[in-house]
Amino acid sequence: MASTSPATALIPFIIQREGEEAAPDNLIIARTAPGGSRLHYRDEDLRDRDARGVLYARVGRNEPNEHGMPTGKPLWKFMHPHQQMMTMQALRCQVCAHPAKTRAGFIFLAGPHDEDPNQAEILTNQPPVCARHVEKRPMVFLARSAPLYGVSGVLYGRLTSGDLHVVARPDHAVPYGHPDLTTFLASQMIRRLTGFRILDLDELMRGLGPGAQTPPSRPDPALP
């Protein structure tokens, strides 16, 4: 994620805040026909699943400020599951939650092990950033294609007693369409970067052209 300093006023939208605690555990696994099963919440609503139907971990949300942005002291090591999912799904900026698309494609931040021009594709849990919020990193990805790939999280099962337990904590992303996703609780959405270029900041700004970092004339509707 954009590594904004704790001393900086602007805190990325996807950062979890103090006071945003995990919701009470009310998960159940229900039988489905024919012979299947599905993980869900007893009081589930539409916001609990992504566009592909995968269930997400619930974490509370503090009251937003007048601009619709989260409030509270940032927990810099954690991304809020719902806010990460919504920005990644809608390709919104992870910092301000505005649309991240530029005239040249989508900007993704490169990690310390990602700057290999020979890689054909890269899986990332980092939502894109808009041109206004590109931090001064040595390199970024400019991707024309970033299709959804899958999710990361934990796999649940049911004991003979009927109680739920965590069966596995995969250290890799589970692709959409995998049979395990019916009883999977996701915490992050993953995209697959293809057709990308690795650029430094000067190259990126030249490619985006003048006015790329101009703030929008009006705010976009807030994410749900």
Give the Cα separation of 96 and 162 in Å (integer).
Answer: 43
* Per-residue model confidence (pLDDT) at position 83: 97
Domain ranges of the chain: 15-208
Residue 193 has phi, psi (to 5 degrees) of: -85, 125
Predicted model pTM: 0.87
Question: What is the pLDDT at residue 209?
Answer: 74
Looking only at the bridges linking them, the beta strands covering 184-199 and 55-56 are parallel
Structure tokens at 44: 């589930």
Encode the chain (224 residues) as per-residue pLDDT tens digits: 665 444 445 899 999 999 999 988 899 999 887 889 999 999 999 999 999 999 999 999 999 998 888 999 999 999 999 999 999 999 999 999 999 999 889 999 876 556 565 678 899 999 999 998 887 766 889 999 899 999 999 999 988 777 899 999 999 999 999 999 999 999 999 999 988 988 888 888 887 876 555 555 444 545 66
- The residue type of 165 is H
> Could you give the CA distance from residue 102 to residue 122 in angstroms, rounded to a whole number?
20
Contact 118, 87 (CB under 8 A): no
Q: What is the pLDDT of residue 6?
A: 44
Which residues, in sequence order, are CB contacts of 46 under 8 Å at separation 6+?
Answer: none
pLDDT at 160: 78
Closest CA to 150 of 81, 86, 54: 54
Count of positions (residues) in the chain: 224
pLDDT score recorded for residue 219: 47
Phi, psi angle pair for 82, to nearest 5°: -70, -40
What are the structure tokens assigned to 50, written together? 């992504």
Task: Find all residues with CB under 8 Å of 131, minimum gap 6, and list them.
Answer: 102, 107, 205, 208, 212, 213
Within its chain, how far is the Cα of 57 from the centroid?
Answer: 12
